[in-house]
Amino acid sequence: MMENSSLATPKVGHNIIMEDRRHLTVSGVSDIDSFDEQSVIIYTSMGELTVRGQDLHINRLSLEVGELLVEGEIDALVYSQHEQKPQGGFFSKVFR
């Protein structure tokens, strides 16, 4: 029997748009692990992404479309090794 490739889950696209190091839009977001005013740890389709800075705020999060908007003074964007997302992030714990 031949497998139908259209049944496979497509990989979600991942993009980052940063404007003036103050506004960051991230697509391909699957969950948020943690956040505070100095860092936001995001699970994306391309691995874990850590945003570091000062006075960081999440202004918009839509897990349905996989988009996140962070505002504040952004100092660094750091990817960890491309790994599978662990079971349960911050929001999955909050909304149980």
In 1-96 the beta strands, taken as DSSP E runs, fall at 16-19, 23-27, 29-35, 39-44, 47-62, 67-79
CA distance 4 to 89: 32
Average pLDDT, the chain: 84
Residue type, position 5, single letter: S
Contact 41, 48 (CB under 8 A): yes
Q: Is the pTM of this model over 0.85?
A: no
For residue range 37-79, what is the model confidence (pLDDT) as tens digits?
A: 999 999 999 999 999 999 999 999 999 999 999 999 999 999 9
Q: Average the pLDDT over each of 10-14, 19-23, 73-77 and give the range with the smallest value.
A: 10-14
Instruction: Report the sign of the C-alpha dihedral through residues 25, 75, 19, 72, in that order.
Output: positive
How far apart, in Å, are the Cα atoms of 81 and each of 2, 49, 65? 34, 9, 24
